[in-house]
Amino acid sequence: MESALPDTPPSPKRRYGGVLPEERQRLRRAKLIEGAIEVFGTKGFHAATVREVCVAAHLTERYFYESFKTLPQLFLATYADLREQLMALTLAALKKAEPTPLGMLEPAIRVFLEFIRDDPRRGRIMLVDSLGVNDEVAALSGATARDYSTMLRHYLHLLVPEPQVGDVNLDLLADGMIGLNVLLAARWMHDGFAEPIDKVVQTNLLPYQGLMSLAGKPA
């Protein structure tokens, strides 16, 4: 009876410059997202081409199709990357915030405004073009708004209990407040960030101050 042949060990993956192929692909994907931020954020999604993104990323077009099938897929990945960056900055700001109503709201609003002011390309991608790419991007944009609304809803219920504001639905109000903050930010961006950021922050905070006043709670 013949003895079974030992399993042949898989051949090691070839490294290029000490980097595994999977890592090189991940790095190329990241470069494509960087290129997309430049092209989508300056020209707009609907005026962009695969070739322009690849030129901005310093990659040939074949590497585009290694990671993405279409430009909308790349836009979705780009939006998701920016969303992750903004959420990380927001959570970091909240950890250091003063534990008072405005002490928690003010830094979260300021981080959002600074995020689009410091790189207006982010604002164009997240606040303008995301509304007209496709249903998948619209769904992610909506999920982003709901994430922030959920965060705000927690603070509203904590700081202003519903019995203190009568028939007001704080869950619905949280959604509306997020919409207000986004529209104010989009208008500020459209105007070239002409108003000082402190004034825009205070404008965003005014409705929250009014709610606290209605509840008889000092801001």
For 178-205, the pLDDT digits (tens) are 999 999 999 999 999 999 999 999 999 9
Domain boundary among 31, 50, 69: 69
Pair (51, 137) in one structural domain: no
Q: What's the number of CA atoms in the CB half-sphere (13 Å) around residue 171?
A: 0
Same domain, 38 and 125: no
**What is residue 168's DSSP assignment?**
-
Same domain for 84 and 37: no
Number of domain units in the chain: 2
Task: Answer yes or no: is pLDDT of 216 > 80.
Answer: no
Which among 93, 76, 87 is positioned nearest to 36, based on CA atoms?
76
The CATH number of the domain holding residue 133 is 1.10.357.10
Taking all residues of the chain, what is their mean pLDDT, rounded to a whole number? 87
Domain presence at residue 10: no
In terms of domains, do 64 and 48 share one?
A: yes
Asked if the model's pLDDT at residue 16 lies above 80, the reply is no
Please state the pTM of the whole predicted model. Answer: 0.85
Q: Are residues 154 and 194 in the same domain?
A: yes
The mean pLDDT value for 16-26 works out to 78
Which CATH number does the domain housing residue 34 bear? Answer: 1.10.10.60
Residues 140 and 169 in one domain: yes
Stronger pLDDT, 206 or 17, i.e. the higher one: 206
- Same domain flag for 158 and 187: yes
Is 44 inside a domain boundary?
Answer: yes
The closest alpha carbon to 206, from 115, 116, 108, 105, belongs to 105
Mean pLDDT of 140-162: 83
Mean pLDDT of 28-49: 97
Domain identity same for 57 and 123:
no
Residue 1 counted as domain residue? no
Residues 53 and 113 in one domain: no
Please tell me whether residues 23 and 46 are part of one structural domain: yes
Structural domain of residue 167, as residue ranges?
70-214
Q: What is the pLDDT of residues 50-109, one digit of tens each?
A: 999 999 999 999 999 999 999 999 999 999 999 999 999 999 999 998 887 778 889 999
Higher pLDDT, 98 or 125: 125
